[in-house]
Amino acid sequence: MNALRLIVLLAVTFMVGTAQAQESECDDERGCVLIGPDEPVTIGYMLVTSGAIAFLGEDSLGGIELALDARGNELLGREIELLGEDSLCTPEGGQTAAENLVADEQVLGVIGTSCSSAAVAALPIISRAGYVMISPSNTTPGLTEEKRDIGGVWQPGYFRTSQNDLLLGEVTAQFAIEELGARTLATIHDGSVYAENLQRVMAERFVESGGELLYAGSINVGDTDMTAILTDIAAEPPDILYFPIFEPEGSFIAAQIRSIAGLEETQLMSAGGLMVASFPFNSGEGALGMLLSGPAVAGDDYRAFLADWVEKYGSSPPGSYHAHAFDATNILLDAIEAIAVENSNGDVLIGRGRLLDAITATSGFDGITGSLQCSPTGDCATGEAIGVFEIGENEVNEGHWPPGLIWTPATGALVEDM
Amino acid sequence: MTQTRTVSRNKLFGIPLPAGHTGVDLIISALRIIIVALIIIGAGNTLLEGRFTFEQWLALLFAGLAQGSIYALIALGYTLVYGILRMINFAHGDVFMAGAFTTVFLANSFRQSGFLDSQPLLAILILMGFAALVSMTVAVLLERIAYRPLRNAPRLVPLITAIGASFFIQYTFRGLFGSGFKAYPTVAFLRGTFSVGSINVPIAQLFVFVSAIVLMICLYWLVERTRIGKAMRSVSEDKEVATLMGVNIDLIIVFTFAIGGALAGAAGVINGLFRPQGVNFFMGFFPGIKAFTAAVLGGIGNIPGAMLGGMFLGVIEAIGPNLVLNGLGIPSANQLKDVIAFTMLVLVLIFRPQGILGERLSAEKA
């Protein structure tokens, strides 16, 4: 009994001693992570990996895994360990996922969440613990807005590589008015925070630029019959029908619209949620000529990425934020590499505050979603990285992806690709 | 022995009610009047406003009938199992998904090989047969593994098990085929429209409607005119007496699940020809709920009731938002499509608690 007490006492003394030793080395106010010579570099993800939109999380997870593969799964001469949590697409899910990840002191940063609703709940936990999170697919404006009175929820430690809806809505409206010469608009959302915000911003900018909003309606996730809402819209046919929603509802709209009298001349437009190879292929001829505005993910780097994806997973990515997850992971890993300090005994010390500063300082990052530069409140995607794509025969019939980029705000119309 | 019954008059807010009426009766009557009045006002406004043409209403009606046929086919699975076992098989929507999801790969290979375009009817029959087989297998396994061991357990136990089984089937298929979306190929001869005068009906909708009716007639014949159908009816009436008469109850229950599963699988392919997109592991969830609603609407346990309930629900969903909600000036009417559907369910149930064609269940059955 006495021997046992002695052992416990010794163990406690030793633990307190090492903890003090660590603290004396760490001068970072957000805390530090000490990685031993044989320990892995640990990062985490919180993505939606179950339920109806599991494809969104799986899509981003693939991007993370390919980014790790590209480095041979090694950083600072150590193996990279990836911990995962299912953050669902709800505040509860985000909260649980964040609590679980911050419980592990070795986790340096987190990729996620998939949904803005989960991010709003996860962010205070991540931020309070001194961690950083980089979302590949949150687009709600409030997440990178500091002012609480206009709905801002930003806290230090939050970043995203996906576009803020304010930016995307503005560019989309500008394109519709100036390039297409559109005057009237109808919008459809699916009740999600994402779609509702994006269509609202786009419609507001469209009206500010002199256009007219004829119809703003919504459907439910899970609806398959779109004839009722399309018939309603056809009573006053608009120049543009904007529906920034996801598969499969987006496919149902594109496929069913051709059978509705009155909407033959209406130009269909959508956003990042439908920028996925299966959308035009599944929708068939209805998607022909449809325009998608979103991240200008194109070019040789992206094609190489897609080839790697097909090689690793056997089919094309199921969603549209894999490239953002790839870039988010690289920003995180680059920043870790840049600020890591190696001690004489082979340990690596990483200050969480310095990591946050290093990510905030990201500038001119050459990602596959364009050139990224993080704002002080974590918006890393810039307006330059937005483009408009047109779906053509190849995408509809052959499952070819990505479609031709026809316009970007920086360069205007790209005639050679049209 | 005679009992004298004193008629005591109930009161609501201190006002005596007519003899034999309770406060609940009055509230239900008020609810009936309010809902019916709202529907009449909404529909009246929309029709007077003239936002939609007659042809547009007809187009919505036909789309609703086609969608309703699919609900009806799935609803039959709920109602058959309920009729025999008095249990709600909440995993039935996923049985539908199993057939539809598995067959989408076969359908796309038929398209690539050109078989679908050269022999469309034969190809569709093969697809339906294959989907029926897959769904039937899943349904029979479900009964054998998840429900049979619990047959004598309290009623809530198989109900919760069904919900668990539903998740199990969903994530098994996600593991098999991934979480992305697939689509059925479009069949050339289903693309056109069938015209009578100024009325155009898409052939795909007609095809869905006719195939569903044919399948339902076959089922009705099976249940009402064959030996095994008679055995099914006897088990539904009273299990113990049926056993005494030499009916093999286990066999009949397995057969019931198999028939329900086969219908759901066939519905999966029919649905794919009508609404090709959106095939993934979660696709059974909403149709499952809608079909269950349809079964209750029609009178659960009653086969023609499930058919009628499905059609009714499909049509209400298609026409309701534009007809009633638009007229009441409610914004985003289409997002409230389910509200309309469930209001109709409430409306039917406050007029006829047993459903449109349901019989009042005897104490033994209930």
The pLDDT confidence band at residue B18, using thresholds 50, 70 and 90, is low
- A235–B51: do the CB atoms touch at under 8 Å? yes
Tell me which of B202 and B133 has the higher pLDDT.
B133
Predicted pLDDT at A416: 46
A43, β-bridge pairs: A82
**Nearest-CA distance B108 → chain A (Å):** 11
Structural Rg of chain B based on CA atoms: 23
Q: Residue A396: which of A279, A307, A293, A306 has the closest Cα?
A: A279
Cα–Cα–Cα angle for A289, A292, A298, rounded to 5 degrees: 105
- Crossing angle of helices B337-351 and B303-320, in 10° steps, is 140
The number of beta carbons lying within 10 Å of the beta carbon of residue A42 is 20
Residues A112 and A122: their CA atoms lie apart, in Å, by: 9
Cβ–Cβ under 8 Å, residues A359 and A374: yes
Interface of A with B (CB under 8 A): 50-52, 54-55, 58, 191, 216-220, 222-225, 227-229, 231-232, 234-235, 247-249, 251-252, 255, 259, 261, 278, 281-284, 315, 318
In a domain, B140, yes or no: yes
Query: In A221-348, which ranges are continuous DSSP H helix?
Result: 227-234, 249-256, 278-283, 299-313, 322-339
In the predicted model, what is the mean pLDDT of chain B? Answer: 87
- B63–A217: do the CB atoms touch at under 8 Å? no
Q: Residue B143: which of B189, B77, B190 has the closest Cα?
A: B77
Task: Give residue-wise pLDDT tens across range A303-347.
Answer: 899 999 999 998 888 888 899 999 999 999 999 999 999 988 889
- B318–A52: do the CB atoms touch at under 8 Å? no
- Three-state DSSP at A47 gives strand
Contact of B89 with chain A, judged by CB distance below 8 Å, is answered with no
Token representation of residue A223: 């609806």
- ipTM beyond 0.85? no
Token representation of residue A326: 């790839």
Predicted pLDDT at B364: 44
In a domain, B46, yes or no: no
In a domain, B43, yes or no: no
Cβ–Cβ under 8 Å, residues A198 and A139: yes
Residues B336 and B287: their CA atoms lie apart, in Å, by: 17
> Count of domains in chain B?
1
CATH number of domain containing B298: 1.10.3470
Residue carrying structure tokens 């009906």: B201
Over 70: is that where the pLDDT of B362 sits?
no
In a domain, B29, yes or no: no
Q: For residues B221-246, give the mean pLDDT.
A: 92
Residue from A225, A257, A258 to probe the interface with B (highest B Cβ count within 10 Å): A225
Residues of A in contact with B275 (CB under 8 A): 224-225, 252
Beta-carbon-side half-sphere exposure of residue B5 (alpha carbons within 13 Å): 4
Residues A297 and A369: their CA atoms lie apart, in Å, by: 5
- B326–A252: do the CB atoms touch at under 8 Å? no
Question: Which residues of chain A fall short of a pLDDT of 70?
Answer: 1-24, 414-418
- B319–A228: do the CB atoms touch at under 8 Å? yes
Predicted pLDDT at B136: 96
Q: Which amino acid is at B149?
A: P
Q: Residue A246: which of A189, A289, A201, A295 has the closest Cα?
A: A189
Predicted pLDDT at A4: 60
Predicted pLDDT at B347: 83
Task: Give residue-wise pLDDT tens across range B83-113.
Answer: 898 889 999 999 999 999 999 999 999 999 9
Residues of A in contact with B60 (CB under 8 A): 227-228, 231
Q: Which residues contact B354 (CB under 8 A, 6 or more apart)?
A: B299, B360, B361
Residue from B54, B181, B293 to probe the interface with A (highest A Cβ count within 10 Å): B181
- B278–A224: do the CB atoms touch at under 8 Å? yes
Residue ranges making up the domain that contains B242: 52-351
Contact of B104 with chain A, judged by CB distance below 8 Å, is answered with no
Cβ–Cβ under 8 Å, residues B335 and B119: no
In a domain, B124, yes or no: yes
DSSP class per residue in B172-200: HHHHHH-SS-B-PPPPGGGSSEEEETTEE
Residues A287 and A282: their CA atoms lie apart, in Å, by: 9
Predicted pLDDT at A15: 56
- Containing A207, the helix (H) or strand (E) segment is helix A193-208
Q: For residues B251-261, give the mean pLDDT.
A: 95
In a domain, B364, yes or no: no
Cβ–Cβ under 8 Å, residues B326 and B87: no
In a domain, B366, yes or no: no
Predicted pLDDT at B179: 82
Cβ–Cβ under 8 Å, residues A267 and A291: yes
Q: Residue B99: which of B252, B256, B287 has the closest Cα?
A: B287
Cβ–Cβ under 8 Å, residues A188 and A219: yes
The three-state (H, E, C) secondary structure of A318-355, written as one string: CCCCHHHHHHHHHHHHHHHHHHCEECCCCCEEEEHHHH
Residues A337 and A134: their CA atoms lie apart, in Å, by: 16
Residues A410 and A403: their CA atoms lie apart, in Å, by: 19
- Containing A112, the helix (H) or strand (E) segment is strand A107-112
Question: Omega before A295 cis (within 30°)?
Answer: no
Residue carrying structure tokens 């005494």: B244
Q: Which residues contact A343 (CB under 8 A, 6 or more apart)?
A: A25, A349
Token representation of residue B287: 């149709």
In a domain, B2, yes or no: no
Q: Which residues contact B161 (CB under 8 A, 6 or more apart)?
A: B146, B147, B150
Predicted pLDDT at A24: 47
